[in-house]
Structure 1
Amino acid sequence: MKQKSKQYWRQIRWLLLIIIIIAIWWPATVWIHQRVHNEHQPVKSNMQPVILVPGSSATENRFDTLIDKLNDDGQRHSLLKLVVKTNDAITYKGKIYNNDNQPYIVIAFQDNHDGYDNIKKQANWLSLALDALMKKYHFNHFNAIGHSNGGLIWTYFLENYFDPHHMTIDKLMTIGAPFNLNESSSTKRTPMLQNFIQNNNKLPKNLDVYTIVGAETYNTDGLVPWESAVQARYVFQGKVKHFTEITVTGANAEHSDLPQNTEIVQSIEQNMLIQDDNNNTAHNQEQRIPQKEYDKIIDDKTSSK
């Protein structure tokens, strides 16, 4: 009887020891895992530019009208334009104002021709330009806008070049982007669209995506088939934090007019820009750029690799 009692208490002691070990080990494991995860996340920079990429055949001046409208409607932000050459050299035009935490940056390409192969090249050049910008201006946090093929370039970049350990993107807006190229059928997927869908697990999980589709007529914006533009849902939906599809009709819904369409400008203001904090007047006054300073920024031209 005594032997059984000893065995019983010995088993109890072992059980208590195991429980104590688990009680210590489990929280420690969770803490270590969380710490490693946090160390891999970049600390967000104060500067959070809006980076715009134009479509095929468009230059670094493609968004001038859009940015003028945005600056007229709200806080005036500085503008920097980059062109990436075919030899990987980068030219800069404009300047980022010292206290401007949300400047506009346009990245264009010397080789701005159409086609999936060129989109891949342009995504690589976009990656080079972003690396150069982050080193030069000390930011790692941005929002992105792409018009036409610019939306495809951003998508390819996010699936193939984006490094979540070194940069953070909160929001992406594609405007009139032909995710299935010129294909107007909803059942025929181009190799590019197939690749986008196959690789969409690589997209940033905390990304908000806004896809804007133009409809000058029932089935096209005059260049991009409606069915091609809405294929974005198969790329992003369920793979990012939020996916929103917006169809714009009526006046200025033609493909080339979309970036300066009033409804789209309002959508950018509401969804892509940092909203003014009315309770932080001092900060707003510091960040607002006087007209004279803004004119100097636009006139300033620099060039470097």
Structure 2
Amino acid sequence: MAVVICLATFGAVWQKRQVKTLRHEVPSTIAPVFLVPGSSASQNRFDPLIRRLNRGRQPHSVLKVKVGKDDHLTYTGRIRKGDRHPFIVVAFSNNRDGYANIKQQARWFSIAFRALMKLYHFNHFSAVGHSNGGIVLTLFLERYLPAHVTAERLLTIASPYNLERRTAKKTQMLKDLIRERKQLPTTLKVYSIAGTQNYSGDGTVPFMSVDSGKYVFQNQVASYTEIVVTGVATNHHQLPQNRQIINLINQYVLHENISDTVKRQNKLLPRIK
């Protein structure tokens, strides 16, 4: 009888471990796309972008989460049943600029991320960050990414990895990001977009600051591609609505069906690998 009880107990424990392992190893049906705005922006920052991404197709559902200073989460919207790639916007009550606040926002993002994991049971995702939102996501990937969760793609838009115009002078933020780069998932594909009309910047973030992201990602993740978008609507605040960037998100993040003409246009954009 004792042997039977021991075997039954062992079998139950083994079965639970196997189920847990399978949940982690088998990709979940849902793979959300997180969107994180930059400083001074609210959870509504990406509304124009989302409308354009949803145009002419079955729309992706949208859930918005605002993280309070006391770690409280406020939800608006919902994820539609059967939506494999819903958009989840995460914003912060304290949305001020500055490295100290960005580090705090990365911690707040991790709180929201873990709460959403429990609600929707996903184990892989992609993310888009505008301006400091890209830095928040990078810090999250280095410091807070849960084990057994796969970060597939990260697309940053005008994210200032180093605020100095001369890359020889690295800020403390960039030094920290470089020091912790070994924690980044090696399977991650990164697309860093810089907006510029004259190759010096987008009016707010210097081009060299965006370009400094290469010191964080190159030779550490599966692939790192820097793309320069020029022309109309390349001002820092206009970039999330820029048509070329919308096409890049469709092709590289959502993997939506887009025309061969658009694919050729995307390939012609200046890029550094």
TM-score, length of structure 2 as denominator length:
0.84
RMSD: 1.7
Question: Distance between the aligned counterparts of 2:122 and 2:222, measured in 1?
Answer: 23
Task: Tell whether the 8 Å contact from 2:158 to 2:205 is kept in structure 1 after alignment.
Answer: yes
Are 1:172 and 2:154 matched, yes or no?
yes
Check whether the contact 2:63–2:77 (CA below 8 A) recurs between aligned residues.
yes
1:226-305 matched pairs, under 5 angstroms: 226-275=207-256
1:119 corresponds to which of 77, 82, 102: 102
Partner of 2:86: 103
Match of 1:224? 205
Distance 2:168 2:109 in 1: 31
Larger radius of gyration: 1
Q: Which AA in structure 2 matches 1:269?
A: N
Distance in 2 between residues matched to 1:237 and 1:39, nearest whole Å: 32
Asked if 1:65 corresponds to 2:33, the answer is no
Find the aligned partners of 1:274 and 1:136 in 2 and give their Cα distance. 25
Q: Distance in 1 between matches of 2:254 and 2:55?
A: 14
Query: 1:135 aligns to what?
Result: 118
Deviation at 1:44, TM superposition (A): 1.5
- Out of 24, 27, 33, which is 1:50 matched to? 33
Offset of residue 168 of structure 1:
1.2
Q: Distance in 2 between matches of 1:264 and 1:275?
A: 14
The answer to whether the Cα contact below 8 Å between 2:24 and 2:123 also exists between their aligned partners in 1 is: no
Map of 1:294 onto structure 2: none
CA distance in 1, matches of 2:25, 2:223: 21
Counterpart position of 2:168: 187
Matching residue's letter, 1:161: Y
Distance in 2 between residues matched to 1:222 and 1:46, nearest whole Å: 41
Q: How does 1:189-208 map to 2 (within 5 A)?
A: 189-208=170-189
Q: Report how far residue 113 of structure 1 moved.
A: 0.4
Q: What is the one-letter code of the residue matched to 1:236?
A: F
Structure 2 unaligned regions, length at least 5: 1-17, 258-273
Give the CA deviation at 1:74: 3.4
User: What percent of counterpart residues are identical?
Assistant: 49
Deviations 1:266-305 (A, max 9, x none): 00000000436xxxxxxxxxxxxxxxxxxxxxxxxxxxxx
1:149 aligns with 2:137: no
How many aligned residue pairs are there? 239
TM-score, structure 1 normalization: 0.76
Contact persistence 1:81–1:106 (CA under 8 A): yes
Query: Quick one: structure 1 residues 269 and 122, their matched pair in 2 at CA, closer, same or farther if it must change by over 3 Å?
Result: same
Shift of 1:170: 0.3
Equivalent position to 1:90, from 73, 85, 98: 73
Extract structure 1 runs of 4+ deviating beyond 6 A.
none
Q: Is the 8 A contact 2:92 2:105 kept in 1?
A: yes
* Higher-RCO chain (CA-CA 8 Å, sequence separation at least 6): 1
Alpha-carbon deviation of 1:73?
Answer: 4.2
Separation in 1 of the partners of 2:104 and 2:74?
A: 18
The Cα of 1:249 is off from its aligned counterpart by 0.6
* Corresponding residue for residue 76 of structure 1: 59
Taking a change above 3 Å as real, the CA distance of residues 246 and 73 of structure 1, as seen in their structure-2 partners, is: farther
- In structure 2, distance between residues paired with 1:274 and 1:49: 13
In the TM superposition, what whole-angstrom CA distance separates every residue of 1:175-208 from its partner, at most 9, and x where no partner exists? 0000002x11121100100111111111000000
1:244 and 1:72 mapped to 2: Cα distance? 27
Residue 292 (structure 1) aligns with? none
Judging changes above 3 Å, is the alpha-carbon distance between structure 1 residues 137 and 40 closer, same or farther for their aligned structure 2 residues? closer
